Amino acid sequence: MRALGPGSVSSFLKIILDVVFAALWIALGAVTLALLGALLFSFNAHLFPDFLVKNAATVAIRGPLFAGVLLVIGLSVGGVLVIVHSLRRIFMTLMAGDPFHPTNVGRLRLIGLMLAALEVGRYCVWGLSPFMPGVARIQPNLNLTAWFSVLVVFVLAEVFREGARLRREAELTI
């Protein structure tokens, strides 16, 4: 089986990325609606029916915390959405048989930045966890695999940059 072009492995992976992309948009919409609901009910806990909430004061206290958790989840899903969108665009160029398209360099750099931002966001949640009322302290751990992935993506971006440069030079030679 071929790696590039129509009917190749890259076109199969692009289909999978399309499905994941749609699922991420649905997840982001659901998290956004839940966040809006959490904010609405945290400011006015009496909107809940009495049989759902025994103590409206508890909802008023926990609501902003729940909304913050949903915000972090939404930002994480958004970051993954950016990564998957960039991968989809890269796989489009692979399907077209043009792996060293100059825009793939920027896409790979964006993927690397988003991976790093997601990892830094995880560290921020860890750092803020002691200040959250009623939340058990989150134990820190350094994820070397995530940072290695960030470095690999940036190195691949430079490999693609060099490939695009060599392709431009080859197009200029007679």
Weakly modelled stretches of the chain, pLDDT under 70: 1, 43-62, 134-136, 174
pLDDT at 89: 95
Structure tokens at 27: 């997840």
pLDDT at 49: 57
* Domain residue extents for the chain: 9-172
pLDDT tens per residue, range 95-136: 888 888 889 999 999 999 999 999 999 988 888 877 777 666
SS3 99: coil
pLDDT at 75: 95
pLDDT at 48: 58
CA-wise closest residue to 46 among 33, 37, 59? 59
pLDDT at 146: 92
pLDDT tens per residue, range 20-29: 999 999 999 9
**Residue 5 CB partners (closer than 8 Å, separation 6+):** 11, 95, 96, 97
